[in-house]
Each structure stands twice: as C-alpha cells, then as structure tokens.
Copies of this chain bind each other. A is one copy, B any other.
Amino acid sequence: MIQIAIMGHGVVGSGVAEVLLKNAKSIARKAGEGIEVKRILDLREFPDSPLADRFTKDFGDIVDDPDIRIVVETMGGLTPAYDYVKRCLEAGKNVVTSNKELVAAKGDELLAIAKEKNLNFLFEASVGGGIPILRPLDQCLAANEVYEIAGILNGTTNFVLTKMIHEGMAFEDALALAQRLGYAERDPSADVDGHDACRKICILASLAFGRHVHPEQVHTVGISAITLADVKYAEAWGGVIKLIGRAHKREDGRLDCFVEPMLLSHASQLAEVNDVFNGILVRGDAIGDVVFYGRGAGKLPTASAVVADVIDEVKHLKARKYLFWEKGQEGYVADYREAVSPMFLRLRCGDPGACLERLESALGPCARIAVEGAPAGELGLVTPPVSEADLEALLAAQPDVAAESRLRVADF
C-alpha cells in the first residue's frame, strides 16, 4: 500500500480524493499497489468527508512523515504551494501538481531538484485539464523534431468567443453568461486577459523545446478588445477569431511565443473547437500535424489527470521518468514585434480607397474584406506577411488612419 498526501481540498483536490476512493480497485490493479490517502492538508474542516480523519492543518504532518511517498499539490497559486512543493521534493517525496502557475513560474527549478533527488515531479493536469497532452507531447518529441505548438488553452475565453461568433452576443453579455454558468470567476481577469493561457503555453513550450519559458517573456493579449465588428469581418473573410497560445521554434534558435486573439480560417483544425473545449495542435517534422481535443477544465477531468500521474509515480518509484527542461534565459523568446504573419486590420480612414492603395504599395496586394452595413470610412483587410514592428511604423505614417483592430492570421 502506497501512502500519499493531498495538499488542498478545493475543486481539484476533493476530486482527486473522490476518484481515488471510487475507482480504488481498478487503480490498484493499474498501479500494481493500492493507494491510500494518509493526509489531506486544508485550513478548513470537512467533517462529512469519508476521509474526515485524515485532515490536518499542519504541513509538518506531511513533509516529516516518512511513510508518505507521494504528495499531490492542488492548492493553486505560488504561496505557499512553491515552498511546500520544494520542501516535499527536498524531503525525498515524489510530487504531482495541477498548479499551472507554479509550473510556469518555477518548473525548471523544481524539475532540477527532482532530477538531483531521483524523484518524479509530474503535472499533466496543469495543461488541458483531462486531455492527455504532456505525455503524448513527450512521445511526439521522442522521434520527432517538434517545431510548433498552438492551442486554444482557455475554456472560459473560448466559450465567450463562441457565443459572440455563433449567437452574435456582445463580449460583456457573453462574459456575464459564462459567470452565471460558473465557467468564469467573479474576477475573470486571469482568463479574459490571457494569463491562464500564457501559463499553459509556457509549460508546453518549456517541455517541447527543452528550456524554461517564463510568463513575463510571453506577450499576452486577452479578448476584451474583440468586438462583434471583428467577428463579422472574420466571418466575411471565411474564418473565426480564437484566443491562441503559440510557440514556434525560429531558425535562429529563439522562440516566437505569445498569447493573442488570432484569425483562423474555417479549414483550421482549431476553428471548430468551440464552447469550453480546448484544442492543442502539435507540428513535428516526421509526424505532421496532430491535434488533441477535449474539455480543458472541470473537477473530474482534471482530477483524473492528477490520478493518472499518481499511478505513474507509483509505477516509477524506483526508476525516475525522463521529464526535464533547462533553466530559462534572457532573450530566449524573441520580441513579438519581430514575428512575421499576415495581419487582419480593421481601420478607420478618411479615404479607404486611398488608404488601401498606400498600404498595398508598401506591403504588396492585400485582401480587402467587404462587410454589409459597415460604417463609412471603415476598411477591413488582410495583409501579406509582415512583422508587427514594420506594420506599426507603416500605420503610424498614414495620415487620417486609426487602427481599430489588428490580429495575426494563423497559418495552421
């Protein structure tokens, strides 16, 4: 019987306890040994829990207990999760976490401690909830040069965009609905401003390219500036707007890595990932395009990913699994203004025809997008590939032009 502890009894942590109890028999068969929750750390009391006698408010009951071989961290946030996880690893305990903020900020450091101590530190649930993505990515990586990852990584913003696209709801109304349905927090900024997606693309990029990417290095734009006018232009062009986290290996060895709303054609395999679903595209030299799709959050999907990691750690108590990346580096992520893509522009101009002509003479032929009922003086178009820096300079030099929207157009 392997004894484990769970730190945090919130949505995910209580789900982990529930799955471990409910599927105890089949889990024991798969792990090769039974798994018992010896301790649950939470400051609250849960007298009605079937595990009520396991609760403690004292972290020492976990870190100092030599019988506990695996610790599950589902507290979220950096404090005290970072300190606790570090001390558990230093005390020789294997760790599983669902905490994306922790892995995105401190993954390199914690993986280095795990490596030194010959322990496992796994975090499948930190990206894509229940969708198996980190393990398959590791497998894709085994025999492939993976050069790009792009994903719809946040279910809340995808729900909001789906309502805007399919039902013509305004951003505020769609967000209010998401809050009513429990998909969005009362303070929705971590989702809406792209920070949640940013943490996830950091973890994916760190694993795929072998070096830690810090959230501060990733240009992050949320969806609050997206309007129904943009949605209509996207539709008229033949596509949709999605919030995408993207990491791409440049020829100079650096990464392009950002979170931005992007314009995707209907032919894209990510275009039909709707509602609260997530979809993650992996591109490799031998494997081509592979997409993983599913519900990116939720108590039981996320808990089941955590439990799969626990089972894996039980199976690898002696031999550490290979999962590692190097320390991050300043300048490793290129300035987002350098990344070249076709751009969608929605401009307000004194003279749209003249404006288009000037842009085309600088950039080459653009695809003008006609939208019924567009206000006079509005110009929608897609440019040829151009860097953000060059485009910004060009637009600033135009007389009588104000950019209302600017979105990269995806090549996936």
Contacts of A287 in B (CB 8 A): 130, 294-295, 300-301, 304-305
Expressed in whole angstroms, the Cα–Cα distance for A287 and B124 within the complex equals: 13
Expressed in whole angstroms, the Cα–Cα distance for A131 and B140 within the complex equals: 8
Contact A315 B322 (CB under 8 A): yes
Expressed in whole angstroms, the Cα–Cα distance for A143 and B18 within the complex equals: 11
Q: Which of B30, B139, B315 contacts A135 (CB 8 A)?
A: B139
By size class, the interface of chain A is 35 or more
Which of chain A's residues 254-311 have a Cβ closer than 8 Å to chain B? 269, 272, 284-295, 298, 300-301, 303-308, 311
Expressed in whole angstroms, the Cα–Cα distance for A142 and B289 within the complex equals: 26
A387 interface contact, C-beta 8 A: no
Given the interface pairs A269-B293, A272-B272, A292-B292, the reply to whether A143 lies near B27 with Cβ below 8 Å is yes
Q: Which of B131, B289, B303 contacts A295 (CB 8 A)?
A: B289
Q: Which of B131, B289, B307 contacts A143 (CB 8 A)?
A: B307
Contacts of A140 in B (CB 8 A): 132, 304, 308
Q: Which of B136, B304, B312 contacts A144 (CB 8 A)?
A: B304
Q: Which of B272, B303, B307 contacts A142 (CB 8 A)?
A: B307
Contacts of A304 in B (CB 8 A): 140, 142-144, 284, 286-287
Q: Which 9 A-B pairs have the closest CB atoms?
A: A143-B307, A290-B294, A286-B304, A132-B136, A291-B293, A286-B300, A143-B304, A130-B287, A142-B308
